[in-house]
Amino acid sequence: MTKFSLLALAALAAPAAAQVKLNGAGATFPNIIYQDWMLTYNQSHSDAQLNYQSIGSGGGIRQFSDGTVDFGATDAPMKDSAIAAINGNVLHIPTVLGGDVPTYNLPDVKATLKFTPDVLADIFLGKLTKWTDARITSANPGVKLPDADIVVVHRSDGSGTTFIWTDYLSKVSPEWEQKVGRGPSVNWPVGLGGKGNEGVTATVKQTPGAIGYVELGYAMANQLPAGSVRNKAGKFIAASLESITAAAAGAMKDMGPTTDFRVSITNPDGDAAYPVASFTWFLLHRQYDDAAKAAALVKFVWWAETQGQARAAPLGYAPLPKQLGPWIEVRLKSITAGGKSVWTTAAR
């Protein structure tokens, strides 16, 4: 038997490398890019099979905390109490950026409406009820607004989109913070509820004079009118991939290599920053029991944080500021299995 034949038989006899299956669940907002990332990654990394279920931020946190998935995803960071309940065994790793936009049903208004922070807060508090209110018309000179009632539309389900919106309103309105506050679900003072971005959009479209909030990517995909919002610097800014990335840059001063990344970037500094923006996060454990799974997961996440970022903008998401890369690397290097870092066998 030739040397070549012996090598061939040895190769046939060797067991195939086991494929690691990784399951995740959570936020609906980043679902489009997460599915794209996983499909792309699976095609070039046959040693891993990734699956993600888009069930909402709250569901993602629950399944991650219960240990029924290998990683979670959320648009609303976990609360301290939820982190304490799993003994601190979680890392929030930002993936892309998103933002909420005010969308409205005013068919005869062709111009992009401008909203000040106090106007948005008072609309959703039910205090400002007419489109011809002087505070709206003064911010929109030359725009003929209808003498119609304002109908508020909000999410009926718990969502990261609502967390972003209410986090912003809590920062710009002391009354909102005191009476309603922030969270994936709140007790809305007024308005009609719609389930998901789809439900809010359908209700706004069916209701003359309505105003609601949806995520930028969804507004872009569905060609919805989206108002510009006056930011902390006093500039009216339209939501865009660039202005949302600028919002993250404005919040960088509050972050560093050891941050847990649970940083709110609503109402940030910066002339070009859109004020209703947020990170969305992967939830990873600090310690895993299964070293093979941990290594495969870290390898995928690092790919998403580097090569995967180029796929963000074409899909309607804002990529992360490049300055975050080294800090994310520090956090991924801290992940262990059996007391040992999995980085050396994963991300390089």
User: What six digits make up the tokens of 98?
Assistant: 């998103």
User: C-alpha angle 302/75/211, rounded to 5°?
Assistant: 140
Range with the largest mean pLDDT of 177-181, 253-257, 337-341:
177-181
Q: Are residues 81 and 111 in the same domain?
A: no
Q: How high is the pLDDT of residue 181?
A: 97
Beta-carbon count within 10 A of 287 CB: 14
Is residue 345 very low, low, confident or very high in pLDDT (cuts 50, 70, 90)?
Answer: low
Residue 13 reports pLDDT greater than 50: no
Beta carbons within 8 Å of 296's beta carbon, 6+ residues apart? 20, 22, 47, 48, 346
Are 120 and 102 in contact by the 8 Å Cβ rule? The answer is yes
Give the tens place of pLDDT for each residue, 209-236: 999 999 887 888 788 899 999 999 999 9
DSSP tally for the chain: helices H, then strands E: 13, 14
Mean pLDDT of all residues in 159-163: 89
Same domain, 244 and 291: no
One domain, residues 70 and 135: no
Residues 65 and 86 reside in one and the same domain: yes
Same domain, 79 and 201: no
Per-residue model confidence (pLDDT) at position 6: 39
- 133-156 tens-digit pLDDT: 999 999 999 999 999 999 999 999
Distances (CA, A) of 303 to 51, 309, 332: 16, 9, 12
Residue 295, pLDDT score:
95
Note whether 90 and 184 are same-domain residues.
Answer: no
Q: Are residues 31 and 139 in the same domain?
A: no
Does a structural domain hold residue 294? yes
Given this model, what pLDDT does residue 251 score? 72
User: In the prediction, which pLDDT does 58 show?
Assistant: 86
Summarised one tens digit per residue, pLDDT across range 111-137 is 999 999 999 999 999 999 999 999 999
pLDDT at position 196: 83
Whether residue 209 is found in the same domain as residue 113: yes
**Mean per-residue pLDDT over the chain, rounded:** 90
Three-class secondary structure of residue 96 per DSSP: strand
**277: confidence class by pLDDT, cuts 50, 70, 90:** very high
27-56: per-residue pLDDT in tens? 888 888 999 999 999 999 999 999 999 888
Length of the chain: 348
Q: In the prediction, which pLDDT does 160 show?
A: 86
Give exposure, 145-158, as e/b (b: 16+ Cβ within 10 Å).
beeeebbbbbbbbb
How many whole angstroms from its chain centre is CA 312?
A: 12
Question: Is the same domain home to 141 and 193?
Answer: yes
pLDDT in tens, 60-95: 999 999 999 999 999 889 999 999 999 999 999 999
Q: Which domain holds residue 308?
A: 20-98+258-264+278-345
Q: Could you tell me if 245 and 116 lie in one domain? A: yes
- Does 175 share its domain with 44? no
Query: Is-contact 103 212, C-beta < 8 A?
Result: yes
